[in-house]
């Protein structure tokens, strides 16, 4: 009885566009359309190659991790140090009275790699400022003044830092006795050359 009813249902005709077709053919057409549609949905996703580029940026291992200024002289003198977001450069703004004692900029430099690295510290120093470099860790500073520009506003220092260590670098800055009153800014960039 059940098979007889199923056969009667499948023989029924349903309207499709401008004609009538048996239910079984409409159902078969729907299954084929669903299969084709499913194939189209999956096909474009899986077809072809993965293209394009994914950039990887490797930043240097030597970075400034901490900084501070210490005024030795007039205690009202102030200093401000700003380090770049990648830790590879810094800018120091100084306030001093002419004739004051020096102001010390302390930079904590860290080597994030496991290898000993050499670093070139390039400093831009205004003409009205005397600058000297020192390190509590004597092995860090290889050459205090590797190069001084002819106008004496650019200094280059060579440093070395063992892997996975940090060290303090001290830059002592003092206004010259004949410096004109004004604003002075010292900036520096660390460039890793090995390691």
Are both 71 and 154 inside the same structural domain? yes
Kindly state whether residues 111 and 172 are assigned to the same domain. yes
State the total domains in the chain.
Answer: 2
Q: Which domain holds residue 32?
A: 2-41
> Domain containing 163 — which CATH number?
2.60.40
Please tell me the distance from the alpha carbon of residue 91 to that of residue 79, in angstroms, as a whole number: 10
146 assigned to some structural domain: yes
Q: Are residues 28 and 81 in the same domain?
A: no
Q: What is the pLDDT of residue 84?
A: 92
| pLDDT < 70 positions in the chain | 1-50, 73-75, 136-152, 195
pLDDT score, position 177:
80
Query: The whole model's pTM is what?
Result: 0.62
Q: Do 34 and 86 lie in a common domain?
A: no
Quick one: which of 79, 126, 138 has its CA closest to 106? 79
The pLDDT tens digits for 99-150 are: 777 788 888 889 999 998 888 888 888 888 888 877 766 556 665 555 556 6
184: which 2 tokens? 């002075």
| pLDDT of the residue at 112 | 92
Nearest C-alpha neighbor of 62 from the set 16, 13, 10, 108: 108
pLDDT at 83: 93
pLDDT at 32: 47
Residue 55 domain flag: no
**Are 96 and 19 members of one domain?**
no
Q: What is the pLDDT of residue 88?
A: 92
Q: 139 and 88 share a domain?
A: yes
* Residue 117 shares a structural domain with residue 179: yes
| 66 and 134 housed in the same domain | yes
6 and 69 part of one domain:
no
Phi-psi region at 132: left, alpha or beta (left = phi > 0; alpha = psi -120 to 50): beta
181/117 same-domain check:
yes
Same structural domain, 154 and 100: yes
- Domain assignment of residue 51, yes or no: no
Q: Residue 130, CB half-sphere, CA atoms under 13 Å: how many? A: 11
Q: Is residue 47 part of a domain?
A: no
């Amino acid at each position: 009885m059940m098979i007889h009813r199923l056969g009667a249902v499948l023989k029924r005709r349903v309207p499709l566009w401008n004609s009538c077709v048996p239910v079984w053919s409409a159902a078969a057409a729907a299954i084929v359309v669903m299969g084709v549609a499913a194939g189209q949905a999956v096909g474009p996703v899986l077809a072809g190659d993965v293209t394009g580029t994914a950039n990887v940026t490797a930043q240097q291992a030597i970075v400034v991790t901490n900084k501070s200024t210490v005024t030795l002289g007039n205690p009202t003198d102030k200093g401000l140090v700003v380090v770049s977001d990648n830790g590879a450069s810094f800018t120091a703004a100084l306030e001093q009275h002419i004739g004051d004692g020096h102001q010390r900029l302390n930079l904590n430099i860290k080597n994030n790699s496991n290898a000993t690295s050499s670093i070139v510290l390039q400093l831009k120093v205004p003409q009205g400022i005397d600058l000297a470099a020192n390190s509590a860790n004597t092995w860090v500073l290889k050459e205090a003044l590797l190069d001084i520009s002819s106008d004496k506003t650019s200094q280059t220092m060579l440093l070395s830092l063992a892997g996975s260590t940090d060290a303090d670098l001290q830059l002592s800055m003092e206004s010259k006795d004949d410096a004109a009153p004004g604003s002075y800014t010292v900036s520096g960039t660390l460039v890793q050359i090995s390691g």
